[in-house]
Structures are given as structure tokens and as C-alpha cells.
């Protein structure tokens, strides 16, 4: 069975979109799962995630390493919300979640629910975490909306 060149070109033209969509879905699943795990812990410590030996070997001072440990939360809220927004957009899960504004509002609701849940388990409600999440969502929304 020989396929015509048009049929082969048609399939290969759609293949990158298909791969991006499914790769985004797998990353989204992993990111959402890890975010859920961290958000539902009563306490967490990022010090065992930081590559201390590597930073020491390249000459990063101890005070900078300590600051990075204590403020890793900032990085996670900002880039987590931004990544979640971009991945939901590229995963093309449903028609409802195809518009950038709808995705942004959905991720903002997830961020708000996570902070409320953390308050209910005794970790406290931090408005700075919520603000950083919203800023990450806004940055992703700006990039996605500029693309459209």
C-alpha cells in the first residue's frame, strides 16, 4: 500500500503538534502531582533539594546558599503558576480550556484553593505566595495572548 506524497506530508505536518500536545499533558500531570504533594504537606523543607556541594564547588558563598534555601518558596510559586498556565494552554485539554483568559482564571482559582487548603492544615495563608502565583499567571497570559 503506497501512500501518496500529500498523505505523508499531511501526517508529518500534524505530528509536531501532536507530540507537543501529549508531551505537555505528561509534564502537566507531573507538575500538578508534585504541586499537590508539596501543597498538602503540613511542613516542607527544600534544603535536601538544593545541591549544596555543587554550589560550594562553584564558589557560591554560604550566605547566598542560605538565602536561596529560605526563598525557594518564591521561585516555586512564581514559576509553578506560570508553568501550569503555559502547560494547560499547550496541552489543549478541552474546548473550555482553550482561551488564555479562561486558563488564567482556572489557574488563579487553583492557587487560591491551594492557599486556603494550606491554611486549613495549619501552614498559614501567605498573601505573598498568592501574589507571586498571580504574577506568574499574568506573565504566562501575556506571553500566550501575544502569541494569539
Q: Is the pLDDT of residue 43 over 80?
A: no
Alpha helices in the chain (DSSP H): 5-39, 52-57, 62-70, 72-91, 100-120, 127-147
CB 35 within 8 A of CB 84: yes
The domain ranges of the chain are 5-41+60-147
At 136 the pLDDT is: 96
At 49 the pLDDT is: 72
Q: Is the pLDDT of residue 26 over 60?
A: yes
pLDDT > 90: what percent of the chain?
Answer: 38
Q: Is the pLDDT of residue 15 over 60?
A: no
Beta-carbon contacts of 114 under 8 Å, excluding residues fewer than 6 positions away, are: 35, 39
Mean pLDDT value across residues 114-129: 87
What is the helix (H) or strand (E) element at residue 47, kind and residue range? none
> Whole-angstrom distance between the N-terminal and C-terminal Cα of the chain?
40
Give the pLDDT band (50/70/90) at residue 9: low
Amino acid at each position: 500500500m503506497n501512500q501518496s506524497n500529500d498523505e505523508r506530508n499531511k501526517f508529518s505536518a500534524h505530528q509536531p503538534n501532536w507530540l507537543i500536545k501529549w508531551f505537555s499533558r505528561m509534564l502537566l500531570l507531573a507538575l500538578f502531582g508534585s504541586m499537590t504533594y508539596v501543597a498538602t504537606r503540613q511542613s516542607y523543607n527544600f534544603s535536601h533539594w538544593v545541591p549544596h556541594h555543587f554550589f560550594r564547588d562553584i564558589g557560591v558563598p554560604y550566605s547566598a546558599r542560605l538565602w536561596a534555601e529560605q526563598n525557594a518558596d518564591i521561585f516555586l510559586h512564581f514559576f509553578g503558576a506560570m508553568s501550569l498556565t503555559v502547560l494547560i494552554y499547550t496541552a489543549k485539554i478541552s474546548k473550555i480550556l482553550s482561551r488564555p483568559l479562561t486558563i488564567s482564571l482556572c489557574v488563579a482559582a487553583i492557587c487560591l484553593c491551594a492557599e486556603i487548603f494550606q491554611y486549613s492544615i495549619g501552614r498559614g495563608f501567605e498573601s505573598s505566595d498568592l501574589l507571586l502565583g498571580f504574577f506568574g499567571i499574568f506573565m504566562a497570559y501575556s506571553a500566550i495572548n501575544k502569541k494569539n
